[in-house]
Amino acid sequence: MAAKSFYKGFTLGILGGGQLGRMLIQPCINLNVKTAVLDPDPEAPCNGVCTKFSTGSFKDYDTVMQFGQHADILTIEIEHVNVDALEALEKQGKTIYPQPSVIRLVQDKGLQKQFYKQNGIPTSDFVLVDTIGELQNHVHFLPAFQKTRTSGYDGRGVKGLFVPEDFNEALEGPSLLEKKVDYDKEIAVIVARNTTGETAVYPVVELVFHPEANLLNYLASPGAVSDTVAAKAKNIAVEIIEKLNMVGVLAVEMFVTPDEEVLVNEIAPRPHNSGHQTIEANITSQYEQHLRAILGLPLGATDSLYPSVMINLLGEQGYEGEAVYEGLDEALKIRGVYIHLYGKQITKPYRKMGHATITGKDWKSVHEKVKRIQDILKIIA
C-alpha cells in the first residue's frame, strides 16, 4: 500500500544511472524523495544529480543486495539487472517495483512471447529455438526476425532472416524466431498502474525509426491512428499491465497492420524512450507517473496538451570524443522547443546524448520546427 511517509527522509533506490534515471530524479525533487543510484560507470548521467551515487554493477548479486539495504523502495531504469538479488531482497521484505517477477519475464523475450500467447494478447507468430541448428526446422517461418532471448537492447541481438541463406548469419544461443509482420506503423502506449490497482493510459504515440542506427528517429504524440486502433492499443496495454499485476510504468511497443490489427512487439516495465515528450506535452509526465505509481499515490491525468514530436539527439556519425552541441543556441531560440541533455561528456556515432521535445499549436508548425532542429543541431567532437 501507499508509502505514507515517503516525504520524510525517504530514499528511492534506482538500479541504473542512465538518462531514464536522470529524468526520474527530476520529479523526485518535487516530492521530497531522496535518490540513491547504482551504476558501474562513475560518469553515468545520474551522478551529480542524485542524492547518493554508488559505483557498482547492477548485474552483480552481492552489489545489488548491498545497495538494496539503503533504499526504502527499489526501482529500475534498465531491465538488465540481477533479478536473483531483487527476489532475495523482496523475500526480506523490501518493496521493489516493478516486481522482480515482471523484470524476469521481460528479460527473456521467449518468456515475454509465451506470456502474450497464454493471455490471448495479439502478437506475431513465433517459435523458440535453443541452437542455430534448430532454425533449419523452421524454414517455412521465413521471412522472420531472430532475437536472442536475453540481453538484446536498442537493436542489438536482432537479425533479419529473410531467405534460408541468411541462416549462415544467424545468432548463437537460445533465441526467438518471430514471423516478419507487414505493418504500416509502429506505435507505443505507456500505461501506469499503482499499488491500489488503479491504471492510467497515455495517448498512442507513433514511432519512426532511424534506418541505419535502428534507433528511434522521431516520435509523434498523439500518433496519427484511427480511433479503433487507438482503443485497441490502449486496451492491450491495460490488459498487459493488469495480467502482469505490475506496479509502475510500462511501455508497450506495437505494430499496426494494414488491416488495423494491433500486434504487441515488446514491452519495457519502466519509463521509456517513447514517453520523453510527456514531460512537457502531457499533463503528467511518465516519470512523475512512475513515481506516483510506486509510491502508492493517485495517478495523474495523461492527456496530451498539444501536438508534439520527440527527437533523440544522437552523436553524429564520424565523431567521437568530448561532445560539442553545434547549433544549440539556435535551437534554444525556437519557441516551444525543450532540450534535455543527458550529462554525457563523450559522444559516439548514434549515442543517445539527449532529446528535444518540439511542441506547437498545430502539426504544421511542429514539423517545421522539427526540420529546423534536425538541420541545425549536431553533436560533434
Q: Which cell numbers hold the place of 170?
A: 544467424
- Bond into 42 cis (ω within 30): no
Q: Which of residues 174-233 bind its own copies (CB under 8 A)?
A: none
* 206 versus 280: smaller Cβ distance to its own copies: 280
For 137, the 3-state DSSP assignment is: helix
Site for its own copies in 226-285 (CB under 8 A): 283
Closest contact distance (angstroms) between CB of 360 and its own copies is 11
Using CB under 8 A, which residues numbered 109 to 168 contact its own copies?
Answer: none
Closer residue to its own copies (CB): 9 or 133: 9
**Quick one: which of 94, 290, 340, 369 contacts its own copies (CB under 8 A)?**
340
Nearest distance from C-beta of residue 65 to its own copies, angstroms: 24
CB of 5 to its own copies, least distance (A): 8
Q: Binder to its own copies among 335, 364, 368, 371 (CB under 8 A)?
A: 335
How far apart are CB 34 and its own copies at their closest, in Å?
5
Span 282-321, contacts to its own copies by CB under 8 A: 283, 292, 297-298, 300-301, 305
Q: How far apart are CA 348 and CA 154, in angstroms?
A: 15
Integer Cα distance of 285 and 301 in angstroms: 9
The answer to whether the beta carbons of residues 41 and 54 sit under 8 Å apart is no
CB 194 within 8 A of CB 166: no
Nearer to its own copies, 31 or 127 (CB): 31
Of the candidate residues 8, 91, 140, 156, the single one contacting its own copies (CB under 8 A): 8
Nearer to its own copies, 16 or 343 (CB): 343
- Mark 36-65 with x for binding to its own copies (rule: CB under 8 A) and - for no binding: ------------xx-x--------------
Q: Is the dihedral of CA 358, 361, 364, 365 positive or negative?
A: negative
In sign, the C-alpha dihedral spanning 232, 237, 243, 245 is negative
First to last CA, the chain: 49
Radius of gyration of the chain measured on its C-alpha atoms = 20
Tell me how crowded residue 285 is: count the other CB atoms within 10 A of its CB.
Answer: 23
Helix segments in the chain, DSSP class H: 19-30, 61-68, 83-91, 100-107, 109-118, 227-244, 278-281, 286-294, 328-333, 363-376
Does 9 contact its own copies by CB under 8 A? yes
Residue from 120, 156, 345, 362 touching its own copies (CB under 8 A): that is 345
> Grid coordinates standing for 153?
537492447
Across-strand partners of 179?
Answer: 144
The answer to whether the CB of 201 falls within 8 A of the CB of 239 is no
From the list 260-268, 309-317, 326-334, 362-370, the region that binds its own copies by CB under 8 A is 326-334
Tell me how far, at minimum, the Cβ of 206 lies from its own copies, in Å: 24
- Nearer to its own copies by Cβ, of 252 and 334: the residue is 334
Total site size for its own copies, rule CB under 8 A = 38
Query: In this chain, which of 162, 332, 364, 368 binds its own copies, going by CB under 8 A?
Result: 332
Contacting residues for 81 by C-beta, under 8 A, at least 6 apart = 15, 16, 58, 59, 64, 103
Estimate to the nearest angstrom the gap between the alpha carbon of 64 and the chain centroid. 21
State yes or no: residue 338 binds its own copies (CB under 8 A): yes
Residue 53 or residue 363: which is nearer to its own copies going by CB? 53
Residues that bind its own copies (CB under 8 A): 2, 7-9, 22, 25-26, 29-32, 34, 48-49, 51, 283, 292, 297-298, 300-301, 305, 322-323, 325, 328-329, 332-333, 335-336, 338-343, 345
